[in-house]
Amino acid sequence: MKKYLIPALSAAGILALSGVQADAREYKIGFIGPMSGGAAQLGQQMERGAKLYMKLHKGQLGGHTVKMIVRDSKRPGGPIAKAAAQELITRENVELITGLIFSPNAMSVAPLANKSKTPVVIMNAGTAFIPNMSPYMVRVSFTMWQAGYIMGQHAATKLGCKTAVSGYTNYPPGKDSIAAFRKGFVANGGKIVDEIPMGGPAKVPDMTPFFQRAKSKKANCMYVFVPAGNHAAAVAKTYQALAMRKAGTQLVGPGDITQDTQLQGMGSAADGVVTAHHYNMFLKSAENQAFVKAWQAEYGANSVPDFVGVGGYDGMAAVYAAIKAANGGKLTADGAMKTLRGWKYNSPRGPIMIDAETRDIVQNVYISVVRQKGGKLVQEIQQKFDAVKDKCKELKLGKCGKKLY
């Protein structure tokens, strides 16, 4: 009887036969977002988007894996987010930080990124100058100037608004947003008759006195920026309660005020509101339809993705691109920036790119109007602006034209 010898396989050989790279490793990344408190719905949307991308693209990194460590920033102020980033970098030894809903959170993380040379992928925070605070930051979400400037143009040239009043949540994104609207509106012949601070981001104020002041100005348009979430839900309802549409004032703003996850709860108050934004779930592209289908398959048929969820999804696409380029080696800040400068991706929102010079997002912006159809509210696309850059950086206005590190 013959004996057959089976040669021993090395560990590397076994891994090769199994399709796993011999040098497969785990990449640890830190995710910072509001997972509790009044803004928890935003943190949940962003986390869901990130996790959905990870689930749908498991094989993209070969044998390498990603462990996402989540930390709660709770509220818009920076100290909690800064402490979370410090702990993630020094104790958890993450190789990248992502998430970051609110601008003050992202701003607080920038000095830590500089000191530790940790790459940061911003999934939401929209104040225009934030990437100028660190050479190791890229943004895949939006800037307040992209929507604000275009909405100003549109209000003056397409909606026939000669005068406008602005209302804004009084923190950096709000100030950015009304500055952008003002620039676009005035450049096209419009006149701003008042700009009204409407409380801070941590708590939804009673909007009534602010809207009463706006109504008294008898402007053709009212531009409003508030953070998405509970603030957004209050805007349309206050506008309706004071009968401002009947008084001749058109409500306009960035898409934060018609956030998809809040839209149905606004009811008839939102009908006719005009916004400029980079995403809503009603986009008819094949990429978006596939995204919405995958989202609802994962999170339930009644679950709705919004621009925050898309920011999480696309942000993780950028993270995966950086990890893939590292190819099993350490994910360095310089390496990640080299990969992500000029990075392009076919997103559910349309084609996006990271500007190689500014490290900021370049994307389509859509003018939409809310309509009631079949017993539901939908956002109908009226106009598309292709490959929009951040106007603040293009014009080198204030901090947008400076290195801040």
Could you report the per-residue pLDDT of 334-374, keeping only the tens digit for each? 999 999 999 999 999 999 999 999 999 999 999 999 999 99
State the pLDDT at residue 4.
34
Give the pLDDT band (50/70/90) at residue 61: very high
Q: What is the pLDDT of residue 19?
A: 45
Q: Is residue 12 scored above 50 in pLDDT? A: no
Mean pLDDT score of the chain: 94
pLDDT class of 59 with cuts at 50, 70, 90: confident
Q: How far from 309 is each of 5, 39, 41, 80, 176, CA to CA, in Å?
A: 56, 14, 10, 22, 22
Q: What integer pLDDT is reported at residue 14 of this predicted model?
A: 40
- Take residue 92 and report the two structure tokens written for it: 């958890």
Q: Please give the share of the chain, as a percent, with pLDDT higher than 70.
A: 95
Cα radius of gyration (the chain): 23
pLDDT of residue 151: 98
> Which of 402 and 21 is assigned the larger pLDDT?
402
pLDDT per residue over 171-208, tens digit each? 999 999 999 999 999 999 999 999 999 999 989 999 99
pLDDT at 354: 98
CATH of domain 24-142+284-359: 3.40.50.2300
Listed residue (145, 147, 188, 144) closest to 164, CA to CA: 188
What is the reported pLDDT for 23? 78
Parts of the chain belonging to CATH 3.40.50.2300: 24-142+284-359, 145-277+365-401
Under the banding of pLDDT at 50, 70 and 90, the label for residue 77 is confident
Across 134-138, 232-236, 339-343, 356-360, least confident range: 232-236
In terms of Cα–Cα distance, which of 203, 205, 185 is closest to 195? 185
Residue 3: per-residue pLDDT: 39
Is 105:74 a contact under the CB 8 Å cutoff?
A: no
Q: What is the pLDDT of residue 1?
A: 41
pTM above 0.85, yes or no: yes
Does 3.40.50.2300 match the CATH number of domain 145-277+365-401?
A: yes
